[in-house]
Structure 1
Amino acid sequence: MPGWWIIAILFFLVAAAALVASLLLGAGTRSTWWGITAAAALFGVVFTLISAYDRVDTRNVGIITEFGKPVGVHGAGIVWHAPWRKVSELSEAIQLQAFESNSFDDASQGRGSNNNPAAINVRLANNSNAYVDENLNWRLREGAAPKLFQDYGGANVFQTIKEQLVDRQAQVALSKVFATFNPQVMLAAAANAPGASAQMTAPAQGADLPAMAAQVKKDLQDAVGTEIEILDVRIPRIFYDQPTQQRIDAYNQKVQETINAQQDVKTAEQNRLAAEQRANQPPPDLRIAIFNCLNDQVKNGRDPAGCWGQIGGQPLVQVPR
């Protein structure tokens, strides 16, 4: 902590000046100057110890620098070092980042959701704009902190690495992947694929998001180098501009109409087959019908005379003609 070390030096200078004064001035004031010397020296020692003490947090790496030059590395825990040296920390913990918005309009105005940065703007192959939500997990590889500190050293080194390297390259990789993506072409290709369903999943809207996320992860890993490990990239959703979204919605409506028409054809065919099957059935056996009628009438305590046609009134068995 060089700031405390500067204060310690000032106290040592005061102690030295008081000591000189005690030697040059009269004996009557010597004890007073010795007291000032002792007090200043004591404060100098205290501030020297404070400036030589540091603590590195868990999952962090301490980079010890001397006048801006890295001279050592220390793991988590208490660090004692020369008072003119400084300890800068770089985190090796997993970093969870999200770029997300609630709508195309929110994203276009730079408004994120859940206290996260806004969704990332990309240009699609059909020359339209879209905003993409992205979740990114990454960390510094073990042992890479010293080199990264040398490459990006300065104030707020870790923040510089995050914003100027990881975030920037994540946007570049995302733009590269989506530059070849046309949602309408992908929808049509998926609908016409052999054995594929004609209707696309609504959130994906024709995009194979897991495959695209995997390609973004690969491109991002290549861009940031071996010192940073990209653990996971996820693309939850895409916000299209209004004209593109309207064309996609219209296409999906036509696809649904086609599915309904195909189902109507299948239903009509099944109804036709059922009617033919009923027409081809043989007429019921009259003897079996009379026998069943007699049993039912006797069981219910009724007159079975009607089981033989018009005898006794309205027939109970309708004989097909």
Structure 2
Amino acid sequence: MPLPPMPMSASTLAKIVAAIIVMIVAVVVWPFYSVPTGSRGVVTQFGKIVGIEGEGLAVLPPWQKLSNFSIRAEKADIENAEGSTSDTQPVKVSMTVRYSIATDRVAEVFEKYSHDGNLSSYVQTATQEIFKAVTAKYTAPDLIAQRAKVSSDINAALREKLALYGAQVINIDMRNFAFSESYMHAINDKVTQEQLRLAAENKLKTVEAEQKQKVAIAEAEANARKAQADGEAYANLTIAKAQAEALRLQNAALAQNKDVLELRRIEVERTKAEKWNGALPTAVYAGAPIPFLNVTK
């Protein structure tokens, strides 16, 4: 049979109660607080902001309270933000905005907008407003063609807007613009027609280039033939001039020396005599010379 528990002495009970009281008091009046990296500690006294603590250990009196406030980069997703272009085309876009709270605006943001640094709802609302305002300045084709400028305009306007809430924009990721289905079909048809037009222009340019090439080849061949003909004519003229000059010189020489002409005649007669076989011609034609022999020798 187990023994009954020993009754607790009054002194022991007093020590336990005292320890519990000390623990409660320590918890209530504990002066040590920790501010994690990427945060600031907002110190309040009876609900009023009395200071901002940096990262690390903070020691506060019991009548003050510390709340950790994030200054890390946060993000806000805006799905299907709606707008309308200047030519009344409805357009949607999805964006992700990354932002953070300016360190010198922590107390203001804590007091007016958020106790933990999350301004997602404010960022989403502001982004919707900015998107509508910016897209209203562009036509639908310009919104597509000038995407980089549109993004820059949204970024600049959103920075200015969020600065009112103590936030600073880090970057904006903007996905493709989405237009109505009918408009997208119209754009696709226009792109197709433009591609066909460019293909036709390129083909025409190719044909024109080929024709120009053929004309250039024909002109080159004609010039070559002309140059050849001119060369041949020049050569013939030069030869004719040379022959005429030679004949002129020969005639001049003969005119100056008749003995040379007589000598040539004698040589011709001698050649004829050497080739004669002694037979007289069987037929004598009118005016033909009659050969004769010199019988005196």
Q: Tell whether the structures are fold-level matches, with TM greater than 0.5.
A: yes
- Which residue among 129, 132, 136 is the counterpart of 1:179? 136
Q: Residues 179-199 of structure 1, C-alpha deviation per residue, up to 9 Å, x if partnerless?
A: 232214x3xxxxxxxxxxxxx
TM-score (ref. length: structure 2): 0.63
For 1:44, give the aligned amino acid. Answer: I
Matched, 1:225 2:163: yes
1:31 aligns with 2:11: yes
Shift of 1:171: 1.6
What is the distance in 2 between the residues matched to 1:91 and 1:36?
Answer: 40
Aligned partner of 2:202 among 244, 259, 263: 263
1:240 to 179, 183, 186: 179
Map Cα deviations across residues 31-51 of structure 1 (whole Å, 9 max, x no partner): 2442233222232244236x5
C-alpha deviations, 1:276-311, integer Å up to 9, x for none?
2333343899xxxxxxxxxxxxxxxxxxxxxxxxxx
2:218 corresponds to: 279
1:12-51 correspondence to structure 2 within 5 Å: 30-48=10-28, 51=30
Q: 1:162 corresponds to which residue?
A: 120
The more displaced of 232-241 and 66-75 is: 232-241
Give the Cα–Cα distance (whole angstroms) in 2 for the partners of residues 249 and 169 of structure 1. Answer: 33
The aligned residue for residue 251 of structure 1 is 190
Question: Aligned pair 1:121/2:78, yes or no?
Answer: no
The answer to whether 1:78 aligns with 2:57 is yes
Query: 1:141 is matched by which residue type in structure 2?
Result: A
After superposition, the Cα gap between the structure-2 partners of 1:98 and 1:152, relative to the gap in structure 1 and judged at 3 Å, is closer
1:59 corresponds to: 38
Distance 2:136 2:221 in 1: 68
Q: Which amino acid aligns with 1:224?
A: L
Tell me how far 1:127 sits from its aligned partner: 3.0
Q: Distance in 2 between matches of 1:178 and 1:53?
A: 52
For residues 62 and 39 of structure 2, what CA distance do their matches in structure 1 show?
21
CA RMSD of aligned residues (A): 2.7
What secondary structure, in the 3-state scheme, does the structure 1 residue paired with 2:100 have?
Answer: strand
Q: CA deviation at 1:150?
A: 1.4
Distance in 2 separating the partners of 1:29 and 1:96: 61
Q: Is the 8 A contact 2:75 2:120 kept in 1?
A: no
Structure 2 residue aligned with 1:210: 148
Query: Rg bigger for which structure?
Result: 2
C-alpha separation between the residues in 2 aligned to 1:93 and 1:32? 51
Are 1:133 and 2:58 counterparts? no
Match of 2:27, as an amino acid?
Answer: F
Q: Which whole-Å CA distance do the structure 1 matches of 2:113 and 2:75 have between them?
A: 21
Tell me how far apart the structure 2 counterparts of residues 36 and 57 of structure 1 sit (CA, whole Å). 35
Residue 97 of structure 1 and its aligned partner are, at CA, apart by 4.5
TM-score (norm 1): 0.59
Does the CA-based 8 Å contact 2:76-2:124 persist in structure 1?
A: no
Deviation for aligned residue 1:234? 4.4
Name the residue aligned to 2:261. Answer: none
Q: 2:85 & 2:116 partners in 1: Cα distance?
A: 34
How far, CA to CA, are the matches of 2:167 and 2:27 in structure 1? 38
* Consecutive unaligned residues in structure 1, runs of 5 or more: 1-27, 100-117, 187-203, 286-321
Q: Deviations over 1:83-139 (max 9, x none)?
A: 45332222223334454xxxxxxxxxxxxxxxxxx3422233333332213242322
**What is the CA–CA distance in structure 2 between the aligned matches of 1:143 and 1:89, rounded to whole Å?**
15
Q: Given residue 158 of structure 1, which amino acid in structure 2 is its aligned partner? A: G
2:86 aligned with 1:148: no
Report the residue type matching 1:40 in the other structure. I
The structure 1 segments of at least 4 consecutive aligned residues displaced by more than 6 Å after TM superposition are none
Q: By how many angstroms is 1:30 displaced? A: 4.0
Aligned length: 216
Q: Measure, in 2, the Cα distance between the counterparts of 1:30 and 1:40.
A: 16
SS at match of 1:282: helix
